[in-house]
A and B are shown apart, each in its own frame.
Chain A
């Protein structure tokens, strides 16, 4: 039998003790993890117990998993388009984002929930797909009057971010010259249009835009109209219910 010096003995004991320590600790940890029902855990309180540097990444991961779950459980086109767009907006990988928006754009092009995909591909030269201004404006026309203004604002912000030419901005807004403003909020759009027209030296269009801006300023607010419509719908439902009961 080999006789070790004291230091050798101590070293041998320490090494074997550490090996056993690490191994048994990993077994216990795995046992503890497998026994936990993660569905019952409160994620927020658990995250608060993690080191700060890890928290953001883990938080990202948890949200990612939740969004993936939404995609998996989505049944209707509206749910699917919403879930895919939410994931696309959230995800950090640009290639994956483009892929998700493309899926929405290809599969659900005619529903309001595809708006974010349209905005993403609007004049986007870096992606495989590109939505032209004409296509975007055509899509906007399919939306409800309340969604239309929001879509127009998003689209214009995107064009401004891309720093497109004034001509293109004019092309994007020019259809407003042919429509009667529905809300007061449109006054901003007409003001922008008037500014663009003056820079492009389009006198007639400029005058019309100013006129429509004034008209829009005398129109009701979007929110007011929306509340009124909701109230009207509620009354109609009530009346329908009452008439049903009377018939019975």
Chain B
């Protein structure tokens, strides 16, 4: 499993990755100058997203971190969607599976390798942002704020596992398209349960309401709620702990489904 992860990480030596790496550093410096403020200021305070990002005590997400994570997620989308289908297409997978590893080990190894790769990009961009801020203002961001930005790395866990799972079912380009639609739909339903909890608190529900609510929640639980990663919360506490458990549990579900698919599909 670790061998597969190491093998995946070797992509870092490829020229494309080195270019991405340089771009990430440059983008980090540029983001400091252009969007150094907190992300909550870009959303309307009367909206739910604006409230989630600004109301709680704790450190907010920086706009530069938001841009950095979007950049990283795009990389994760490309890398995650193409890696396994290409291994299958080039028969590389057969070579790897001839070693004493299971298909689950292969999948988890790929996942860990890609996670390390994408995390490197995000961390590098983030460090460049902090350095850029230091060079332009002469002072560093507060430590808590800097630590808080790294919580965004958690979003990579469900995102990568989701795209890897999809890539176990369909070829690379299709995996990217399906992945994008899946994420878009996940975003579109993300605020509804919070809203429902907010306005239907203590509400007497009719049978019809129960049916609609239940149907919605069945659908909702099929998608990770990415909005939780962007809310303002304290660096240490129940919310970050729940976020870690949430990310790991979703990733486990996705990877398990991916493993089932890989175990049952014909790789030749």
Instruction: Using A51-B192, A54-B213 as known contacts, say yes or no to A31 and B256 having CB atoms under 8 A apart.
Output: no
- Name the residue on B nearest A19 (C-beta): B249
Chain A residues within an 8 Å CB radius of B216: 51
The reply to whether A30 and B256 form a contact with Cβ atoms under 8 Å apart is no
The reply to whether A17 and B194 form a contact with Cβ atoms under 8 Å apart is no
Q: Within the complex, what minimum Cβ distance (angstroms) separates A88 from chain B?
A: 18
B interface size (C-beta, 8 A): 49
The reply to whether B197 and A29 form a contact with Cβ atoms under 8 Å apart is yes
A 183-227 to B, binary, CB cutoff 8 A, 1 in contact else 0: 000000000000000000000000000000000000000000000
Q: Could you say which of A40-48, A102-110, A138-146 contacts chain B?
A: A40-48
Q: Does A36 contact B (CB under 8 A)?
A: yes
The reply to whether B194 and A20 form a contact with Cβ atoms under 8 Å apart is no
Interface residues on A, range: 35 or more
The reply to whether B225 and A28 form a contact with Cβ atoms under 8 Å apart is yes
Within 8 A of B (CB), among A22-44: 22-25, 27-33, 35-38, 40-42
Within 8 A of A (CB), among B192-218: 192-201, 203, 205-206, 208-209, 212-213, 216
Instruction: Using A14-B256, A20-B248, A51-B216 as known contacts, say yes or no to A38 and B231 having CB atoms under 8 A apart.
Output: no
Give the number of residue pairs across the A-B interface with Cβ within 8 Å. Answer: 126
Q: Does A10 contact B (CB under 8 A)?
A: yes
Q: Does A13 contact B (CB under 8 A)?
A: yes
Q: Does A78 contact B (CB under 8 A)?
A: no
Instruction: Using A35-B55, A36-B198, A62-B199 as known contacts, say yes or no to A21 and B48 having CB atoms under 8 A apart.
Output: no
The reply to whether A57 and B206 form a contact with Cβ atoms under 8 Å apart is yes
Interface residues of A (CB under 8 A from B): 6, 10, 13-14, 17-18, 20-25, 27-33, 35-38, 40-42, 45-47, 49-51, 53-54, 57-58, 61-62
